[in-house]
Amino acid sequence: MSDIIEKSLYIGLGILTITKEKAEQVINELVDKGKIKREESSKAIKDLIAKAEEEKKILSHKIETGIENALTKLNIATKKDLETINKKLDKIIKQQQKRD
């Protein structure tokens, strides 16, 4: 999937990436509210970032699969299809040039 489309989808969903600073902010707020212990904050930050990355990968896979399914249903040629056709066409052209 095009990088631009992928990033646009993530931005639209508000989950392009979670920065370390944002994770620290969220966890520090939880520490301040007494929801987690200060000693646990470092691990919680790492866990939050890892979970965000995991969710991003899962969402990306779902989006790519959905787009691929839609393209298949619409019967639209993929880049791979076009490359295969171009290779076959090149072969035919070379054969024709040999005959001429």
Give the tens place of pLDDT for each residue, 18-62: 677 877 888 888 889 888 888 988 888 888 888 888 888 888 898
In the predicted structure, residue 2 carries a pLDDT above the cut 50:
no
CA distance 25 to 45: 9
Smallest Cα–Cα separation from 10: which of 65, 51, 59? Answer: 59
Taking a C-beta distance cutoff of 8 angstroms, is the pair 64, 10 a contact?
A: no
Smallest Cα–Cα separation from 58: which of 45, 24, 50, 72? Answer: 50
| pTM assigned to the model | 0.53
Give the mean model confidence (pLDDT) for residues 53-79. Answer: 86
Give the single-character DSSP code of 40: G
Of all residues in the chain, the percent with pLDDT exceeding 70 is 82
- Cα dihedral 30, 36, 17, 51, rounded to 10, equals -150
In the predicted structure, residue 85 carries a pLDDT above the cut 60:
yes
